[in-house]
Chains A and B, each alone.
Chain A
Amino acid sequence: MRVTLHQDKCVASGQCVLAAQDVFDQRDEDGVAVLLDDNPPAEAHDDVRHAAAVCPALAITLAES
């Protein structure tokens, strides 16, 4: 799975961090999401899919392989 994060769209809601703490974090200055791992391990996939589904700004896109 390849994760892409569009930071320009992010509204810093933190939903992705709640859903998948090992894959997403937020910048200290403005809360904008940062991607910690663009190729997360299989056991994180459900959480990452959930993160993409709840992101209110549609800032996370996934390419499943």
Chain B
Amino acid sequence: MTDTLTDTSGDTGPEPAYPIDRSPRCPFSPPAGLRELQSTAPLRKVQLWDGSGAWLVTRYEELRALAQDPRISSDILRPGYPHVGVGSLERARRQTLFISMDDPAHARLRRLVTAPFAVKRIQAMRPEIQRLVDELIDTMLAGPCPANLVREFALPLPSLVICRLLGVPYADHAFFQRNSAALLNRNSADQATEAQRVLMDYLDQLVGEKLARPADDLLSALATGQVAAGLLERRELTAIAILLLVAGHETTANMISLGTLALLRHPDQLDALRATDDPARVAAAVEELLRHLTIVQSGLRRVALEDIEIGDRVIRAGEAVILAIDAANHDAAVFSEPDRLDLGRDARHHVAFGYGVHQCLGQQLARVELQVVYSTLYRRVPTLRLAADPTELPYKHDSIVYGVHELPVAW
């Protein structure tokens, strides 16, 4: 590793800005500049939106090592933490989510909500998810063609599922779908801060209702089991609810729409997926799409607690570190021909869900939703095609989670 960390062209000169924009002509691939840094300077100081610096980690091996290194902190309130955009610190002061905390505070909160996301519990939801997918397809096919796949299908599915699991009334979906998306915008402080405020109010009121009239859902269980017993503060439960609601929406929805777009642009891969009814091959396809697309596009944010030596570089205590999972998932040392979408490859060791103790809690739910979608949608709608120029789609360049705002499709 050391030899590649010596000065090369990408390693000198002014610090490049991060995040790096995708090329407008190639909105679909990881930014070329990111790949360039990966090959020339796998550990590189970059400059963030506020002028501060951070170490950008782009290679798989170093990324995995750092993601589970106890000398690395996820504490968003710690000085030196690399904020994703304007307003981020202010929002964190108002309400910190357990993804932005270190153990033991993180572990205490996370463990409260892990049970419903266990593999077997999620697999038991498969028939219900299948029913929802079929219903949404029926509704879309009965409506006007072309349709916007994001609005008619990709967003409603995860929304319905997470609402049921949490016990959030789906009738309010327009409201929280809009605010979930706004909360992830990294450029507009006003929008994101206002979205946080209204979601906090909404969910706090909902927690109050669960305390008064519990139902069979996760928020009720936590309200009556933990909050009522004084083991969890009400504002902590509200923060958990926001985290799960927002994370449950944007991620899976973008994987459904962006995944569909990727498959429509790779007809041979789509045909192969359509032709199989082997659950193992569908599961493998889901892992490859997760790797290939890696929709979390502004890296995992960390700050060093101690000096950490990597090759001939030292990350100093207090310095910011950004783990670029999108780059790591396209590391040719680990995934051969990484830019090729190959549904037959074994991509299970990708880091699209992160790595280390903060690895995505909802990953098994996401997997089952995507497996059902990818094995149903294209078979039930074999003529599904894009009804827009792929280079002109509204891509989510300014969001923490990449995707498309709209995906016009016809059949």
Contact = CB atoms under 8 A, between A and B. Distances in A.
Interface of A: 11-15, 17-19, 25-32, 50, 53-54, 56-58
A11 B360 CA distance: 10
Interface of B: 67-68, 107, 110-111, 114-115, 117-120, 122, 348-349, 353-361, 363-364
A56 B356 CA distance: 4
Contacts of A31: 114-115, 117-118
B352 to A, nearest CB: 12
Given A30-B111, A56-B68, A14 B348 contact: no
A14 B349 contact: no
Nearest to B354: A56
A28 B115 contact: yes
Contacts of A50: 348-349
A6 B348 CA distance: 22
Contacts of A32: 111, 114
Given A30-B111, A56-B354, A12 B349 contact: no
A13 B117 CA distance: 8
B114 A12 contact: yes
Given A26-B119, A31-B118, A56-B357, A12 B68 contact: no
A11 B357 contact: yes
Nearest to A16: B119
A2 B231 CA distance: 38
Contacts of A11: 107, 110, 114, 357-359
Given A13-B353, A14-B119, 20 more contacts: A11-B358, A12-B110, A13-B361, A13-B363, A14-B363, A17-B120, A19-B348, A26-B120, A28-B115, A30-B111, A30-B114, A30-B115, A31-B114, A31-B115, A50-B348, A53-B349, A56-B67, A56-B354, A56-B359, A57-B359
A3 B342 CA distance: 32
A15 B348 CA distance: 9
Contacts of B359: 11, 13, 15, 56-57
Contacts of B361: 12-13
B118 A12 contact: yes
B363 A57 contact: no
B357 A57 contact: yes
15 contacts: A12-B114, A13-B353, A14-B118, A14-B122, A15-B359, A19-B348, A26-B118, A26-B120, A31-B114, A31-B118, A54-B348, A56-B68, A56-B355, A57-B357, A58-B68
Contacts of B107: 11
